[in-house]
Amino acid sequence: MYVNTVVIVGNLTSDPRLGEGNGNVVNFRMAVNRWRRTDEESEDRPERTEYIDVECWGAQAANVNSSLHKGDRAVVAGQLKYDQWSDDGGAMKSRMKIKAHAVGLSLEFRNPLA
């Protein structure tokens, strides 16, 4: 049995956008920091930022489109998807993205008294 599941936590880099001509898909990009702690420092520091594309389908797409906005911290669970296409010049392009099964706001840094 093969398992293809990934979970990320990060911030939306822009508002989710509906697919052109198709209201059933929403795409957005997330910035996910990779953290590390060095012996000389007492606090974690971002080592590098990964930018990950996410797509949602159906009712979840509509919910994400109306609920999430640029800068929101979110949790995404889904499967990795490999897309391949040729551009206008005939050159092959490819990318990995996440086809989301579950998307929600992260409450990690929310202030409950705000």
Report the C-alpha gap between 63 and 107 in whole angstroms.
18
Q: Is the pLDDT of residue 33 over 80?
A: yes
Cβ neighbours of residue 59 closer than 8 Å, sequence gap 6 or more: none
Radius of gyration of the chain (CA): 16
Averaged pLDDT of the chain:
86
Categorise residue 21: left if φ over 0, alpha if ψ from -120 to 50, beta otherwise.
Answer: left
| Structure confidence by residue, pLDDT tens digits, 59-84 | 999 999 999 999 999 999 999 999 99
pTM: 0.79
Q: Is the pLDDT of residue 107 over 80?
A: yes
Between 3.90.79.10, 2.60.40.10, 2.40.50.140, 3.40.50.2300, what CATH number should domain 6-105 receive? Answer: 2.40.50.140
- Measured in degrees and rounded to the nearest 5, phi and psi for residue 109 equal -115, 15
Pick 21 or 35 by higher pLDDT: 35
